[in-house]
A and B are shown apart, each in its own frame.
Chain A
Amino acid sequence: MRMKRMYLGEFEEVVLLTVAVLHAGAYGVAITDELDRQTGRSVSISAVHAALHRLQEKGMLTSHMGEATAERGGRRKRLFAVTVLGSRTLHDIRAVRDQLWNAISPQTLPAFSL
């Protein structure tokens, strides 16, 4: 029923989702900051860069160089966007998760522990 899915690490998945959240404005610093805001994880820019390039290699992201801005000292930023493959992979992951959650009876994993 399902094609063999591309492997995604947990961090890669979160980064990929963050790129989707930021939509058109996804680049290194913005992704790092958004990650911090959304998940409370403070990660280094270099870790995010490495993950972005890995995702691009796997074909889940495309990128192009954006405008040069003064706040970057006249340097351009690389803007990332989720590809069809990336989007499909994320949906697949979510489907698997949902399927598993639906199969769990509510008493097994109470939301609040006593």
Chain B
Amino acid sequence: MTPTPPRWADRLLEWFCAPHLLEEVQGDLFERFQHDVQRFSSQKARQQYVRGVLGFLIPRRGQHRAGLPADLYPKPDLTDMLQNFVNISLRNLWRNRRITAVNIAGLSVGLAGGIMLFLLVTYLFSFDRYHANADRSYWIVTDVHHETVQPTDATPRPLGEVLRRDYPFVESAVRLDNIFGRVISVPDGKGRFLKKFEESRNLCFTEPQFFDVFDTQWLDGNKKTALIEPNTVVLSERYAHKYFGHANPMGRVLRFDNKTDLTVTGLIRNLPSNTKLRYDALISYATVPVVLGEGGSREMQSWGNIGSMCFLTLREGTPFMQLLNAFPAIQKKYLNAEQAKTLEFCAIPLGELDHDPVHGGRTPRPILYSLIIVGLALVVAPVSTSSTSLRLRH
């Protein structure tokens, strides 16, 4: 039996080789194969044949355009046309290389700037909109009417409880007291302290309902019960690490302002950066009277002192007006004549928390909208100017 070249290599060659070149190419390879069989062995010859076929797969200048009459290979490939377009555009770009360089630099800077601005605006618009109940959650604030209107970001302490208790359309309401400039220390168990930290902004007193209104991811502890008892605290991963290192923080004790102890009853994931309520230590609201000391419980019931932030979630399908209509009734029932004249409650949708400059929002909507316009201008301007310069040249 006469040896033959490997079938698959032949097939491969027939598949990729330009049809008008196939005969001479295959003929040459076959002739070489016959020689190799005689000179070496059929096995070596087959190896060489495969190598020869693969050699034609390497792109080489001149292989595809052999200068043969056009009718031998009448139909140009679609890719030939595309290749032609690419060639022409590259040639033009290179011919006007100075303009090309300016255009490309301008376009890329503009595009990069535009994309950055859009990312920034998207981020700023995402603040506190990620909570599952965000679309029916509101922030309650008090405007104080004297000679002028003084907006505040808080409410009298009893308001949250009243809303939760007396109004069935309120699914959940939570009160929250910010903490500024208090010292948290880590006891070493022998009456001394290992570490002391002065804390501001990252700490708050809040109720278990915090976790109904705002989404948090729990690593340890029970989110229903963790903040019921006085002297309990829920820590973020970050702060657990800050206070206790790698040791398990659950059940450990912290000293608050050298006044009272706090037992760690929960561990949550760090809150994302796009929330205005980015707390790392949530202390139970029942601890507030303990810290206030004498007269604490009276203070908790005072309507004259605007001391707590208040957030609530309405039941699904409750109209916003129903909430607004509840405020005058509360004023009538609980406030004395003078307070009723000066205090006015308002509700702001949770997603607007950071867009209301009157109540401490940092990114008012008009600024965000103008950023979008600037971003669009950055993307569009280089395109239009580059086409203008082209028209000028023509």
**Chain A contacts to B: CB under 8 angstroms:** 27-29, 32, 44-47, 49-51, 53-54, 56-57, 65, 71-73, 75-78
- Minimum CB–CB distance from B134 to chain A (whole Å) comes to 66
Per-residue 0/1 for B12-34: is the Cβ within 8 Å of any A Cβ (1 yes, 0 no)?
00000000010111111111101
Check A72–B27 contact: CB distance below 8 A.
yes
* Closest chain A residue to B28, Cβ basis: A28
Given known A-B contacts A45-B52, A49-B28, A77-B28, A71 and B34 have beta carbons under 8 A apart? yes
Q: How far, in angstroms, from A100 to B21 measured CA to CA in the complex?
A: 40
Number of interface residues of B (CB under 8 A): 25
Q: How far, in angstroms, from A78 to B63 measured CA to CA in the complex?
A: 14
- Minimum CB–CB distance from B146 to chain A (whole Å) comes to 92
- Which residues of B are found within 8 Å of A72, using beta-carbon distances? 27-28, 30-31
Given known A-B contacts A53-B66, A54-B61, A57-B62, A45 and B29 have beta carbons under 8 A apart? yes
Check B30–A56 contact: CB distance below 8 A.
no
Q: How far, in angstroms, from A50 to B63 measured CA to CA in the complex?
A: 5
Check B62–A27 contact: CB distance below 8 A.
no
Q: How far, in angstroms, from A29 to B34 measured CA to CA in the complex?
A: 12
Please report whether the interface of chain B is mostly helix, strand, loop or mixed according to DSSP.
helix
Given known A-B contacts A44-B52, A46-B55, A56-B67, A76 and B30 have beta carbons under 8 A apart? no
- Which residues of B are found within 8 Å of A65, using beta-carbon distances? 23-24
Check A29–B32 contact: CB distance below 8 A.
yes
Check A51–B62 contact: CB distance below 8 A.
yes
Check A78–B55 contact: CB distance below 8 A.
no
Check B67–A53 contact: CB distance below 8 A.
yes
Q: B58 near A: Cβ within 8 Å? A: yes
The 10 closest A-B pairs by CB, nearest first: A54-B62, A75-B27, A46-B55, A50-B60, A28-B28, A53-B66, A72-B27, A44-B55, A78-B24, A57-B67
